[in-house]
Structure 1
Amino acid sequence: MSSSELHSLGLTEVVANLENGILIVTLKSSRKMNSFTEKMSHDLIRVFRWGDVDDRVRVIVLTADPKVPAFCAGADMQEILKGSALLGRQEENEDEHRDPGGQVALAIYNNRKITIAAVNGHASGSGFTSLQLPFDFRFIWAGAHITLPFLRLGILPESTSTYLLSRLVGESRATSILLSNAKMQPSSPNLSSLYQEILPNKDDVLPAALAFAKMIAINSAPVSVSYTKGLLHHPGTSIEENHLLDSRAIKRRGASKDGAEGLKAFMQRRSPNFPDTVSSESSSWYPWWKPRDVSHPNKSKL
């Protein structure tokens, strides 16, 4: 895909720019407080999929317009009252609904590039579940209020958050976070381990995330990143099976052009220039797991 295609994605709720291998996606919704809408979900899915396949992209950073107090104030309640797809009120059968927040979470979680959330404002509902949990790294303003109103609204935590949060902080802490209805801050004992860095000033969040992204973009081989994320997200069912996956991955990467360049750069004490690309990494082995199509109800019923 060319750079012109990035600008022709038809994005209206987010703005995207590619700078030195870092794709910066900024929530800039026309709705109050960057509320999560069906259109925003489509925009985010589209831009993260674009970043996944474009080899110029090394890292994807999501942040919000700093002039808006909220990073994301959760689902747009006015849209829901009008019959939005956000709560599954458009389908006749239960197994036909596909949670838009969950679709966004999957586009981020399954992305082969490094993903970073730079949370520079308050976050409620989807602003925590779909726009923080599926990322590889999270930077956040210490003064941000995190609110999960699901149970008070008679619904439940969405965006695959019950799966992701338990994996990230453990079941006990995830239970406390999701069932307590509490308003929390990033320094909460249950939450703090989620974050790579908690910044005292709101304006420092994005620069810190970008500095970290730049370091990763320069020093990490994209294909090795994708393999490592695959092993983290799709491990074997036992340590022995994981050993087999590790061994094959190490063999493939060790024999690659990246492996040769990494060793040479190390010996020459310089930054590496990795030649292998994610788009060219297709084989009968990778991915070693069977991806499940969740976009079509007829193909993915439970």
Structure 2
Amino acid sequence: MNTNKTYQTLTFEVKDRFATITINRPTKMNALNSEMLGELKELLVDIKTDSEYKILGIILTGAGEKAFIAGADIAEMSDMTPSDAYTLGQLGQQVTTLFETLQVPVIAAVNGFALGGGCEMAMSCDFIYATDNAVFGQPEVKLGLIPGFGGTQRLAKLVGRNNAKELIYSGRNLKADEALRMGLIVRTFANKDAMMEEAMKTLKAISMNSPLAVSMAKKVMNEGIDLTIAEGLQLEKRQFSGIFSSEDMREGTRAFVEKRAPSFKGK
């Protein structure tokens, strides 16, 4: 994996095996366009298929103070045909699905506006931290559109169907305090620096646990959300029993019995 590759619409930094992806179109409020989605897809595929670098966790954020991702690039979309829109929607959904299915934890660190596609990108991460000035919303109906990168599906799972319908039908914005009460985000911070510092602390704390167990827990939770409770319990039981064949399970339980810190290998 080439961590020194240069991108036009984002920056990718890795330090001590923790990665930060920064959406970097500040003059356009970090608005999503086809180029950015293509670069994100390429990067995430590289991360997902990498067997050598072993990134432990990722923070997704936006450049500057005004916007995480203010939405999709409307100028680019305004002249699209249905076929063009299908291609764009497919690309956007591929990117959000890649974020959602990465084996490592991904934290969205939202500063300023996270509207439309920006909200959808944030929701595809494992959870969302936000600054007090963050603003969320799916305002597509105000433009004669609907969410196309997963918003109609993920928002309902995060805040409940009726809340999601009210938000999507009205297109209204959510400030950070209301988003916190609804469960869309999990923590708020006074400023971006404090948020980024805490997000990195969280990833480092998670990395002290078995990476195999964290990855499996993520997989089971993501897959189980669309199952009945009975089906979900069967899935959990299979994975719970399966992890007993792992080196991490043996190391973790032995370390507990021996009253020492575990040394996990992720296998």
**TM-score normalized by structure 1?**
0.79
Displacement after TM superposition at 1:237 (Å): 4.2
Equivalent-residue separation in structure 2 for 1:44 and 1:140 (angstroms)? 21
Could you say which residue in structure 2 is the equivalent of 1:138? 128
1:169-248 to structure 2, matched below 5 A, reads 169-188=159-178, 192-219=182-209, 221-235=210-224, 237-248=227-238
1:82-93 to structure 2, matched below 5 A, reads 83=80, 88-90=82-84
Equivalent-residue separation in structure 1 for 2:25 and 2:134 (angstroms)? 19
Displacement after TM superposition at 1:88 (Å): 4.3
* Alignment match of 2:91 (pick from 96, 100, 120): 100
Could you say which residue in structure 2 is the equivalent of 1:167? 157
The answer as to whether partners of 1:88 and 1:97 remain within 8 angstroms in 2 is no
Displacement after TM superposition at 1:255 (Å): 2.3
What SS does the corresponding residue of 1:146 show, helix, strand or coil? strand
What SS does the corresponding residue of 1:175 show, helix, strand or coil? helix
The residue type equivalent to 1:125 in the other structure is: G
Q: Is 1:122 aligned to residue 120 of structure 2?
A: no
Q: Is 1:17 aligned to residue 13 of structure 2?
A: yes
Displacement after TM superposition at 1:30 (Å): 6.4
The residue type equivalent to 2:17 in the other structure is: G
* Alignment match of 1:61 (pick from 59, 62, 66): 59
The answer as to whether partners of 1:186 and 1:192 remain within 8 angstroms in 2 is no
Equivalent-residue separation in structure 2 for 1:187 and 1:276 (angstroms)? 37
Equivalent-residue separation in structure 1 for 2:92 and 2:181 (angstroms)? 21
Equivalent-residue separation in structure 2 for 1:29 and 1:223 (angstroms)? 35
Displacement after TM superposition at 1:226 (Å): 2.4
Q: Matched residues, percent identical? A: 26
The residue type equivalent to 1:218 in the other structure is: M
Displacement after TM superposition at 1:128 (Å): 0.7
1:28-47 to structure 2, matched below 5 A, reads 28-29=24-25, 31-47=27-43
Q: 1:174 to 1:255 in 2, by over 3 A?
A: same
Q: Which range moved further: 244-253 or 152-161?
A: 244-253
What SS does the corresponding residue of 2:20 show, helix, strand or coil? strand
Could you say which residue in structure 2 is the equivalent of 1:287? none
Displacement after TM superposition at 1:78 (Å): 2.3
The residue type equivalent to 2:61 in the other structure is: T
Displacement after TM superposition at 1:74 (Å): 0.8
The residue type equivalent to 1:14 in the other structure is: L
Displacement after TM superposition at 1:269 (Å): 4.1
Q: Is 1:267 aligned to residue 257 of structure 2?
A: yes
The residue type equivalent to 1:227 in the other structure is: M
- The alignment yields a C-alpha RMSD, in angstroms, of 2.4
- Structure 2 residue runs without a partner (length 5+): none
**TM-score normalized by structure 2?**
0.88
